[in-house]
């Protein structure tokens, strides 16, 4: 059983929700405590994330929904070690990642995290195969191991027949499949997807969602950001963000709403 409780003692404007899972089986791969982000710009400070507390269990399909500008990408960038929070602690697989140097952050990102972006972000000068192999090359893996892992990942997404193509020769849906393969090839402990269907028509969007669901059934931990409420139904838990806060938490089919 899961429950949702409001953190006591917080003033209402800074109130945030703590999502508590008391399922014995749930191991938090990701745990955030009081994580906030404020950008400093020439026009002043832009609070992008208010203090957030939540965790994502290993093997969970977790979705973050919310309108444009509510802080979804900021949150994912922090989870993916592409950005650092202004305050709070982030624990990944039991280790605090706050005080790591750039090199260690890059190493953990490369080994533990697979990214899927709205704009696919494939490298245009590299073939499908080379795109998927690249993160493994950064790890210094042997050529034979790289080939095995890259081909396995491409087979999983149904793109192993397009290894020599370049991204520009593929449809958007196919490019996103290759991006999913690239994210998978290194067997990361968590897949982070930022609006993975945002640039796709509904048929290709559904196909990518089916693929993510299949990966989840195979044991992947997924945190997906979307502004499309329809796709939140795939999640075991989803949070709805508004103005950098968690406004609503849904657990399975049941919903608990806070003002």
User: Which residues contact ligand ADP by CB under 6 A?
Assistant: 39, 41, 46, 48, 66, 68-74
List the strands of the sheet with 113-117, edge to edge.
113-117, 190-194, 222-226, 61-65, 237-242, 245-251, 254-257
**Contact region for Mg ion (CB under 5 A) — 54-62, 73-81, 85-93, 229-237?**
73-81
**226 lines the binding site for Mg ion (CB under 5 A):** no
| Interacting partner of 71 out of ligand ADP, Mg ion, none (Cβ under 5 to 8 A depending on kind) | ligand ADP
- Strand boundaries in the chain, DSSP class E: 2-6, 17-21, 28-41, 44-57, 61-65, 87-92, 95-96, 113-117, 190-194, 222-226, 237-242, 245-251, 254-257
> Using an 8 Å Cβ cutoff, are 91 and 29 in contact?
no
Using the minimum distance from each CB to Mg ion, give the nearer residue, 20 or 46.
46
| Interacting partner of 13 out of ligand ADP, Mg ion, none (Cβ under 5 to 8 A depending on kind) | none
Using the minimum distance from each CB to Mg ion, give the nearer residue, 73 or 131.
73
**48 lines the binding site for Mg ion (CB under 5 A):** no
Using the minimum distance from each CB to ligand ADP, give the nearer residue, 18 or 227.
227
**73 lines the binding site for Mg ion (CB under 5 A):** yes
| Total residues interacting with Mg ion, rule: CB under 5 A | 1
Residues in CB range of 147: below 8 A, 6 or more apart: 133
């Amino acid at each position: 059983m899961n429950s949702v409780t409001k953190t006591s003692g917080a003033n209402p404007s800074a109130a945030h929700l703590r999502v508590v899972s008391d399922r014995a089986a749930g191991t938090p791969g990701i745990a955030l405590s009081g994580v906030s982000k404020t950008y400093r710009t020439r026009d002043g400070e832009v609070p992008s994330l208010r203090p957030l507390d939540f965790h994502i269990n290993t093997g969970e399909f977790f979705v973050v929904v919310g309108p444009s500008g509510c802080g979804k990408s900021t949150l994912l960038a922090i989870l993916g070690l592409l950005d650092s929070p202004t305050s709070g602690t982030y624990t990944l697989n039991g280790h605090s990642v706050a005080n790591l140097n750039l090199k260690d952050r890059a190493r953990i990102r490369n080994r533990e995290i697979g990214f899927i972006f709205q704009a696919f972000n494939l490298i245009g000068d590299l073939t499908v195969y080379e795109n998927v192999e690249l993160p493994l090359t950064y790890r210094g893996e042997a050529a034979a191991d790289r080939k095995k892992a890259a081909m396995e990942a491409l087979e999983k997404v149904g793109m192993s027949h397009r290894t020599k193509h370049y991204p520009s020769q593929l449809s958007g849906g196919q490019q996103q499949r290759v991006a999913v393969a690239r994210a998978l090839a290194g067997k990361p402990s968590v897949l982070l997807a930022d609006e993975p269907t945002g640039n796709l028509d509904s048929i290709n969007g559904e196909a990518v969602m089916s693929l993510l669901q299949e990966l989840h059934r195979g044991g992947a931990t997924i945190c997906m950001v979307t502004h499309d409420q329809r796709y939140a139904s795939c999640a075991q838990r989803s949070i709805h963000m508004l103005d950098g806060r968690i406004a609503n938490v849904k657990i399975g089919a049941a919903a608990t709403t806070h003002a």
